[in-house]
Structure 1
């Protein structure tokens, strides 16, 4: 296996995944990265990614990622061990059914329109003060929007973060920053028992965590007090468009035969709060940035919005007609995937496929090997994408042959005819914004639809340049 000798200086001033991309172009689709005594295998190949994520998925767990996130998410779906994951996935996945997603389009729309009203008010105040420009941190604005959507859609709780601040909102952001810090810091000093008492940022982190946990415990307690137990099938057939509480929490609490303790339920909710909120905020921020750089694509997007929506509100059926907006969301996730890395650890010795231009005999790895599947590299690979650095939403309409790449079936939308968005099936694992295989993100359609509706409403109301 090729070896890339990493120096800490290679990472100064830029994210890790940029360096991984440079080494990918130099060393190939599978290489070993050594930082002092610690080594990782970096995968930038869909054939190898498919093997790890789908074909031999249960020979790997989340490894380093679980170590980082378990103090925050407990036994939630992302850091959970295999047995816990299997149990919780069976319970949570049915909650993201079609009727629920259809009802959520109203939540997505209402929260987005509330965000637009705030921006229009700020712009109006700026005009009154004859300000030539108004500076806004759009990532912060989209983070607030995403947090409000998660609050209403998952907990039936209105954070109201678009228009106000609260201790819970501050705690959520503090926890997000700590999760990011831990994922990029190479010495896990927070594991030292006294760290939570003597390190200021760790004291703040545990204080933030308590604020969020107290809030979630209260929401769970309220939901249990009004529990209406039913089988999964009956829960899915409720009139979600007219329910007072159509949240995922209500679904999980009401599910018959699943008497999960409050701690596990809180871990599940915390995982959805952190992971779901961050992904949407990132994709919307990058989407408007890319559209601002490409005025012709902005005009094309607005033409579709005017044609499909006019001045009306988005619905589940109308979302299906917003084809170009959906492709913009997908293309944004291709260029700027969130997260840019998927992390796995081998539970037993294994042999990885060689992948494209790799060793035909594959690569033997011992148990305990930590693997970085670089989604960023996969999505920008010159071997599997034409013009990979360019913003071209139209690319997802075009079938791409495997062009002689053994073991890869190319890009073919017909492989998943009912899918609203490109996925790992149509791309044969060269497009993995939400992972793939059995541990694929359970809330991918929620996040994609949320991003599509929010982007459509923002583009209808504002011109980006």
Structure 2
């Protein structure tokens, strides 16, 4: 913070609230059928708040809440006056993840409401019609706001925090890199890395005590290591080998990941203060970690540029990837003819994909297994599909296309546990939001500078757009759902996006946005889906998985993503139906 810090005080408070939105509270997700204990069923079938919630709403707000509301009314109350208001119940934000409170307020105030908190007001969107407007129809009237402020010191001008000008330039360069032949080559990388994990599990079963029948592992930690190895090899041709070893680079990567999480959850951005990076131990370590990673990436970039084989995009996409030693995205970006290959920008791109790609993949695999472990019949159905498609073969892209049910399990896990649970946008100019379902027919005018939170969690669990929204039902995506009189929403129709590998914002008309939507949709969505499918397929092919304890013991922590507080401890038992012949994968 510079000498004019006093003038920036509203921005600092604003950033503090954003971090509060990701406050690291814990909550037990329970099994999905019992996850509805916060709600009671109304006769209409719509979930209503329970009597305890009603009492909470009518109880007298405490002093902190009243102070927050007073500040809002004095400083920003009139800017969003037409919107329904969830007054700043500060006390509701502590003790559990914020998105639960956002869901409660959504049921009370509707799909678009103003969250009044201290000196700022925020617009919370829980409606696909409004989300579509912000993310696609008027996308370039919004930027990432405070999200960019948090991530810029780590990711620089990578795709996520980049301003619109930089984003438009880099998107044109990076998106072609995720072409079909690259993804086919990546399936081998996904398989090789996943087999390392499987081999590790098998050795643990065989070690010392030959009579051991099961092992207990923190699968979240294992998935985290696996995701790191995949990102390293697939994106910049570096083998972290984190499944089987440790190194200074691996430690630095995890240190940086933890710092990114810390910055998304800490109330005050103290790291912006002068000299903090040299006197606060945590920040000293962070900058040391960042230097280790940057030095590593700089070396990889230098090597790639020294062996550059410049070519047109079309020819790069038609390379024989089976004969290449380096099939990474970095190789593609460096070799692209006529493209600025500034080292700093390349490093920012790689760092962004390292952080974003690692966290989300580890999280979706964790919650997929958590859900399957509570639904043995669905796990068995998935295993039968894997056995039928693979047999003794190596996984290929064609195999993955046939594993429809397995892919639906992954996207259903993303529906119930979206990564991230909130998308953040800031209006660059005055705009008019649609009213959404049951909202104001005339819509809502918002001034420039308005911060918007698109609650992916609320969209994915909305009782207005999904049947049994809190239940784990991968099969739901196989059946079209009419809009049932909801004006402006086209319903869910899997045929709307022919050939799509997964249900998406097109098939659901923005009621389901696992990778965002519109121009700034995640560029690595296919990469993430395929690596998750490979990892889950190989795990289920070899092992039956059970939770070590009760589902209630698996507490969650929220920050940039939804993950567990103390790991996902599971029991792995070798599948009795898997014979030795099937265990040996062979090339076909």
Whether these two folds match at TM > 0.5 is yes
Superimposed CA distance per residue, residues 160-181 of structure 1 (whole angstroms, 9 cap, x where no aligned partner): 0000111111111111111112
Corresponding residue number in structure 1 for 2:135: 53
The within-5 A match list for 1:19-38 is 19-38=101-120
Corresponding residue number in structure 2 for 1:313: 394
Q: Which moved more, 1:132-141 or 1:55-64?
A: 132-141
The within-5 A match list for 1:313-332 is 313-332=394-413
What is the distance in 2 between the residues matched to 1:261 and 1:27?
Answer: 48
Superimposed CA distance per residue, residues 56-90 of structure 1 (whole angstroms, 9 cap, x where no aligned partner): 00000000110111111000000000000000000
One of 163, 168, 171 as aligned partner of 2:252: 171
The answer as to 2:109 corresponding to 1:15 is no
Superimposed CA distance per residue, residues 425-445 of structure 1 (whole angstroms, 9 cap, x where no aligned partner): 000001111100000000100
Corresponding residue number in structure 2 for 1:382: 463
SS of match in other structure, 1:371: strand
Q: Is the 8 A contact 1:51 1:353 kept in 2?
A: yes
Corresponding residue number in structure 1 for 2:564: none
Q: Is the 8 A contact 1:5 1:35 kept in 2?
A: yes
Corresponding residue number in structure 1 for 2:492: 411
Corresponding residue number in structure 1 for 2:347: 266
Q: Is the 8 A contact 1:329 1:452 kept in 2?
A: yes
CA gap 1:410/1:126 in 2 versus in 1, 3 angstroms:
farther
Q: Normalising by structure 1, what TM-score?
A: 0.98
The answer as to 2:218 corresponding to 1:137 is yes
What is the distance in 1 between the residues matched to 2:122 and 2:472?
Answer: 31
Corresponding residue number in structure 1 for 2:166: 84
What is the distance in 2 between the residues matched to 1:414 and 1:124?
Answer: 47
Superimposed CA distance per residue, residues 119-173 of structure 1 (whole angstroms, 9 cap, x where no aligned partner): 1222333745x77874422111101000100111111110000001111111111
Corresponding residue number in structure 1 for 2:121: 39
Q: Which runs of 5+ in 1 are unaligned?
A: none
Superimposed CA distance per residue, residues 8-55 of structure 1 (whole angstroms, 9 cap, x where no aligned partner): 332323222222112111211111112211321111100000000000
The answer as to 2:263 corresponding to 1:182 is yes
SS of match in other structure, 2:321: coil
Corresponding residue number in structure 1 for 2:70: none
What is the distance in 2 between the residues matched to 1:228 and 1:94?
Answer: 17
One of 161, 173, 197 as aligned partner of 1:115: 197
The answer as to 2:459 corresponding to 1:368 is no
What is the distance in 2 between the residues matched to 1:37 and 1:420?
Answer: 44
The within-5 A match list for 1:376-455 is 376-455=457-536
SS of match in other structure, 2:507: helix
Corresponding residue number in structure 2 for 1:62: 144
What is the distance in 1 between the residues matched to 2:214 and 2:324?
Answer: 43
CA gap 1:300/1:256 in 2 versus in 1, 3 angstroms:
same
What is the distance in 2 between the residues matched to 1:220 and 1:8?
Answer: 47
Q: Normalising by structure 2, what TM-score?
A: 0.77
One of 449, 458, 461 as aligned partner of 2:539: 458
Corresponding residue number in structure 1 for 2:80: none
Q: Is the 8 A contact 1:126 1:134 kept in 2?
A: no
Corresponding residue number in structure 1 for 2:175: 93
Q: CA deviation at 1:254?
A: 0.4
SS of match in other structure, 1:437: coil
What is the distance in 1 between the residues matched to 2:96 and 2:146?
Answer: 21
One of 206, 210, 215 as aligned partner of 2:287: 206
Corresponding residue number in structure 1 for 2:550: none
What is the distance in 1 between the residues matched to 2:190 and 2:202?
Answer: 18
Q: Is the 8 A contact 2:206 2:212 kept in 1?
A: no
The within-5 A match list for 1:323-342 is 323-342=404-423
Corresponding residue number in structure 1 for 2:296: 215
Corresponding residue number in structure 2 for 1:162: 243
The answer as to 2:313 corresponding to 1:232 is yes
* Number of residue pairs the alignment of both structures matches: 464
Q: Which runs of 5+ in 2 are unaligned?
A: 1-82, 547-588
What is the distance in 2 between the residues matched to 1:38 and 1:205?
Answer: 30
Q: CA deviation at 1:406?
A: 0.4
What is the distance in 1 between the residues matched to 2:335 and 2:449?
Answer: 40
Q: CA deviation at 1:6?
A: 3.0
Q: CA deviation at 1:193?
A: 1.7
SS of match in other structure, 1:70: helix
Q: CA deviation at 1:264?
A: 0.3
Q: CA deviation at 1:198?
A: 2.1
Q: Which moved more, 1:370-379 or 1:9-18?
A: 9-18
